[in-house]
Structure 1
Amino acid sequence: MFKKFLVDDLHVPLRNIVLLEDGAATRAKILSTLQTHLRDNPDTPDHGKATILLYFAGHGSRVDAPEAILAPEGRIEMLCPVDYKMKNAGGKVVQAIPDYVLNRLLGQIAEKKSQNIILILDCCHSGGMDRDVDKTARSVRSDSYIPVDLDRQIWQGKGEAVSYRTKSLSPCVLLAACGADEKAREFTRPDGTVGGRFTSELIPLLRQAPLGCTTATELINQRELRELPNQSPRCAGGRSNRPFLNIDLPATGVLLTPQKRPSRTELSNSLQKFRVEIGSFIGVLPGTEFEAYNPNQEYLCTFVAQSVSDDHSILVGKDAQRVNIPPWSRAVVSDWKGPQLRIHIPEGFQYAADLFPVLASPPQRFVQAGAVEDADIAVKTEGGEIVIGFVKSQRENRITLPGNAVHLPGTVEGVIRFNYFLNCANKTDAIEGMGLEMYRLEGEYPTCKPDPQSVNLIQNGKVRLVSDKGAKVWLHVAHQQWYSPACTRTPLLSDGGTVTLGMGSDRAFQFELSPGELASSGFFKLFVTDEYIDLGWIKQEMSPFEGTGRLRLSHESLDLVSMRWDALTVALTITAPAKNGSN
């Protein structure tokens, strides 16, 4: 079924597809195919932008982690091949494929070939992977013993640490059939064949949706998948909010979802209410205006935010004229209706026309101030640098501007956004008991453990490290209070629970300067909420800085109404090692 979709709908050449069915889906064949067809395939350019799709439907398990491997709740998840627990030609029992082995292979593929990887799992736990057929369990027993050196040749000594400059720790976008404690359901089709309910609903959506602008998150939130009985499909990954088949590009606008489900014979229209998955956290206010576009990017009409929650808004048509809204139409903010930042530039500023163009598309989110005392931001030049100053806090940023100043507005926006979130803190209703700690590690992936001699490297909100290629560290998020969010893979427990990043089956962090660098500085920023909310939009990845959301004044608080939140900041400094003989 999935191969037919690839060939008929995406027009993928048959030579690019490897299908392992039934008896062919052995452990050895699965692992070798991941390496030869994906990681080491000479027909796929290295460091390119190919989209890599992996689909798995079958069994799996969730078992106790090997003693040497630290894993969430002490458990790992496994894909179970067709020959699982059988004996191979050498007389050894065939093991399942642990999550840390699959994760390492996906990481190698991302590093060598492309980071545009989509992994679709139609299986239980969406990690632990068994499925029910017509509500009858087909679980794989979870009493397996996993040798600690299993697949050592795949993960040993192959860049097990992640650079602190890495933009995302997720090597792929994951679409999973259900949650960690659920079972993926199967059903018997009219022709007598058995298939997964998740797959049977997902593929029609993939065929209908304009995949060049629809995100994986938007697909997984469709009613057809949300209403599956007894299973809750999930989506995860650092690029899950990017177009399904254009993962390198940010999504344009947000999907318009009608509040009333239309019949098969009629279209939704602008006189109805629509929901969009952005809210006050991004800066939407009641009255914020959105322009609607059909899948062909043709303008339809304008909507207005009628009610705004933290993570979503309800829109109504601005005009009384009825306009049909086709499925998969999108909305783009055209007027935030919020206070605009005021920027002052000195008389004769040579980049004035670039910073304040007469016709700006999209409309800019700041205006020119007549006097510096009336401004929030002051922009000037000194030598070959642009100086961006924050009037009320006496802080400034200096950037070297390239010869072409066409990107100056976006760069200024990026600096403003960066500084806002860097200094963002809850001063009225903070969550007590949160902490961020850092420790050195010993050992190799996936058996890295805390160095018993290491102390917390973060002191008084600061950490200072000496550049060291071999040194590995991990981050520890501690919580000593009461909340246990259900959305995280490793929830913060009420009795002193923790989340670890960069230890055990997670890849460690490595802090090393680039050749010729003497020092580098940055920040760790931790946001915590007592309900799930998507924070991926905060990340600015395009060059020059490009982000979404309304630009806020420096003193303006995040607009969270229905949830508690907090944030903390740790300053990081990395210095070059002292040369022999120097003081």
Structure 2
Amino acid sequence: MASHVFALIIGIDQYKSSHVWNLSSCADDAENMKRWLMDDLHVPRSNIRLLVDDKASKRAIEDAFMNHLVSNPAIESGDAIIVYFAGHGSSVAAPDDWCNGHPRRADILCTYDHCTRTGDRRVSGITDWSMHAMLAELAEAKGDNITLILDTCFSPSRSRLSDRLRSHTRWTQSTRLTDDDLYAGLWRNALSHKTPASTSRFHAPAQSHVTLLACKDGERAMEKEGGRFTCALLDARHALPLHSTSYGDIIDHLELPDGQTAVCVGRNAKRVLFNGIPFTSDPHYVAVSVSEEDVRIDAGEVHGIVEGSELSLHSHNVRGSLNPVLASLRVFEVHPTWSLARTKQPQAMQKLVDAGWARITRWNNRVPFRVQLKRTYFTLSRWWRLRQRVPQHGESVGGITLARVSQPEAADLSVRRRCRDIVLERHDTLIGRNCSGRINIPCPGPDDDVQAIDAAARFHFHLHRKNSTLSCPLRVQVSMALHRVDEATWAPIGPDLIDNGRAQLTLDSERPNVYALVLQNRSSHDLWPYLFWMDAYGYAISSLYHPTPSPSGPPLKKRSTFTIGTGGAGSEVLAFRFVGDGKTSSGFLKLFLSSAYVPMGVVEQGKQGGSSPLPTSDVPDEPKEDELWDSEVACITVMQSSGMEPRLT
């Protein structure tokens, strides 16, 4: 099933030929597009190929198009593919028989080496005919979910192109190109794609892709502190819910200077942007239902909710799409798997929709996470700014309550700021006894310090959470056993590797290092298990097993066993990698148990880009007073066998 995004992003400011004037912001536009895809749409870095300036020659672009897109086995049919170009465009008179003799001119994307001589020919850039042939070949291999974005122009009106405007216009002349140059530069399969064309083939509707252009034919694509079109396109994410907005609607929304009108063409112009592929559910949102007096939230004690926890209310739970806060909520009644909240603005209750989504903004943890800030001479100013942002008394920072202390013996974490990173000394007994007591985290930016501390605080919060109100805790009645998996049968083999809550695993270079977790339920309750991996080196929390609602009920039946890691879909085998540069690497298996099904995505921490949306459940009509929850934890230490090289992540 198609679910990924891949992109080829090109930005050219500096041109090789002295006859082509340089631009000033195309490379920045390309970087900003890449940043949007990675930060907002969670596209993995490996899915994006960026070519800038001298790396964007004609040959390099065509090679990247083939290797990164057409021949990439990771791209499935229907995956979203984006080709972005910011740089000069150009136009020349077309040969008489150019593409069946229909167009009067050939439009060109000017590559870095455009118009430079190679042998007895000049580089003709990428012509409209070539690009259409390239995209037709790509669509045949990977489907038609292709978006071509061009922040350039091809034939601006000469009467309106003054010397002052020329330096800010993404267009150049190509008077030196001959008919032979154009034919010699055609894409390899272009001759088999002689489809009829309008006067400007880049502006012609295509079956294979949707094209977004910076301007109409005869207008100019302007840049000033960024391409006007690219800036407007990126600004649209702050004004439109992209997950429900079509290409055409986005273009209609853009506000550009006079003389520049954005264009959208293509058979699929009425589709939602990128066919909706990058706009997946964010597991950190929980379902809610709104009544006249309160809001019922599909999250409770098992998620870490307590009385006084605060949430923001939203209309949807989609990543990368505008999702403004409708109201702020405060929890006043908490149950094991659900809770009740009221808005801080009672008059706003009448305006709220019947159902929606909420995100936790303040956990209201009773015991604050205690931080000691160690002063360093060389980073005194950074230390002082950090000191101002970490409160002396318990206050919420990033959702978790922090408190600054002066002595390490009173702290959960000591922080020392250095030039490009921070050193964290962990004083927590569970982490300190099983993991490295000191780690370095890169923090080049001024906000990275607080984010690193907040990640540590959230990690600490979820690691230690358990149900202390049960007379007979579920963690006593449910045991975890870790076994190696036989690579032929996928069955657990060998002894239980967990001893007194700890397991030491030696990576074996001679066989797969895969495992299964066997849960034994000795209680009288059917239970839903949720398994997370808590990486003590990077403070990431990721889901290893999340059950799906089923008519057969909870998978962990009373007085029975259940295996996580059977090798099938949804229960992949467990693999532990060596992380860091020391002799051992440690983390924690955190198991949550609940007698009622609830989505548990709120526990995840770190970049979860590309993960499939977690299943959701309907909020129950009536409360269930017999709901139970609990958790247990096991420390996993990974060691290298002799002869194995460390695998750093």
Q: TM-score range by the shorter chain?
A: 0.3 to 0.5
- The structure number with the bigger radius of gyration is 2
Compute the TM-score of the two structures, normalised by the length of structure 2.
0.41
Q: As a proportion of its length, which structure holds more helix?
A: 2
Compute the TM-score of the two structures, normalised by the length of structure 1.
0.45
